[in-house]
Amino acid sequence: MEWAEKEKDRESRKMKIEKKSEGIKFPYSEKVLEHFRNPHNVGKIENPDGKGLEGSPACGDMVAVYIKVEPETKVIEDVKFESYGCASNIATGSVITDLAKGKTLDEAKKITWKQASEELGGLPPIKAHCSVLAVEGLRAAIRDYEEKHGLVTEKEPTTEDVVRRRLKHVMNPLTGLDIIRTNLILKTSVEAGVVRVVVDLPADHQFAPAIKEDIMEKLGALWDVEKVDVVFTA
């Protein structure tokens, strides 16, 4: 499902919840409900300086976070998020983007899901992973910026495991889930700085160029990768 459709779906879920909510006691604080109904910083930044896409192993939901960074001071000037997640995830995304705006990258990295949960007046324990997902999305966007600007200090060698982990952050537009989970990647290899990725789609498929671009972006920024070859099956 596209983000726009997802947004419509979220709106309709919200309306249904609001309709049913008369007389029902939610396990959420008023603050969570307020941020869910009117989330701050929702949307996409065109040409972001950093972009993170994270999926939750616990529930399969996803969140994307975009940042604009002032190059001298490394202050996050703007931040937005898109969520495929639940009310807790949307509320946390709203709070952490508020917290991150105006902070330096190093300060924003220290924002924790516990801090977000406290800001929201607490979350049910079963919903902790939703908060973690939003925070991971923000951290992924910061890491993306750092990689693109040569600011990464821990230099892990790129292996097939690293490549597959990275590819979990590339969305399969056919399903709205990542390209690893949806078995779109047939093969990966890493040799002498060259990464090869075989995608189970014809080269003239409507989504092939977008998937290729995303793969190149995710792998090309790795410090020891010199070339990325994306190969389609036909």
Order of strands across the sheet that contains 62-69: 50-55, 62-69, 76-83
Catalytic residue among 59, 174, 208, 225: 59
Q: How many residues bind ligand FES (CB under 6 A)?
A: 9
Q: Does 86 bind ligand FES (CB under 6 A)?
A: yes
Distance CA(125)–CA(111), nearest Å, equals 19
* 138 forms part of the interface with ligand FES (CB under 6 A): no
SS3 per residue for 93-104: HHHHHHHHCCCE
Chain centroid to CA 67: how far? 11
Q: Using DSSP bridges, classify how beta strands 62-69 and 50-55 pair: parallel, antiparallel or unpaired.
A: antiparallel
What one-character-per-residue DSSP string does 77-138 give? EEEEEEE-S-HHHHHHHHHHHHHHTTSBHHHHHT--HHHHHHHTT---GGGHHHHHHHHHHH
Q: How far from chain centre, in Å, is Cα 155?
A: 22
61 binds ligand FES, rule: CB under 6 A: yes
Pairwise CA distance, residues 96 & 55, whole Å = 17
Q: Which stretch binds ligand FES (CB under 6 A): 20-28, 29-37, 56-64, 107-115?
A: 56-64
56 binds ligand FES (CB under 6 A): yes
The pair of structure tokens assigned to 51 is 């972009």
Residue from the set 41, 88, 97, 188 that interacts with ligand FES by CB under 6 A: 88
Q: Which stretch binds ligand FES (CB under 6 A): 39-47, 64-72, 86-94, 107-115?
A: 86-94
Q: Catalytic one among 79, 130, 167, 180?
A: 130
**From 130, 211, 215, 230, residue interacting with ligand FES (rule: CB under 6 A):** 130
Is residue 233 within 8 Å of residue 215, measured between CB atoms? no
Q: Which stretch binds ligand FES (CB under 6 A): 4-12, 33-41, 81-89, 220-228?
A: 81-89
* Interaction pattern, residues 170-199, with ligand FES; x per rule: CB under 6 A: ------------------------------
Q: Among this protein's residues, is 86 annotated catalytic? A: no
Pick between residue 48 and residue 55 the one whose CB is nearest to ligand FES: 55
Task: Mark whether 59 is an active-site residue.
Answer: yes
**Cα–Cα distance measured from residue 176 to residue 37, given in angstroms and rounded to the nearest whole number:** 23
Task: Kindly tell me which of 28 and 145 has the beta carbon lying closer to ligand FES.
Answer: 28
Residues of this chain that bind ligand FES (CB under 6 A): 56, 59, 61, 85-86, 88-89, 130, 133
User: Hey, which residues are catalytic here?
Assistant: 59, 130
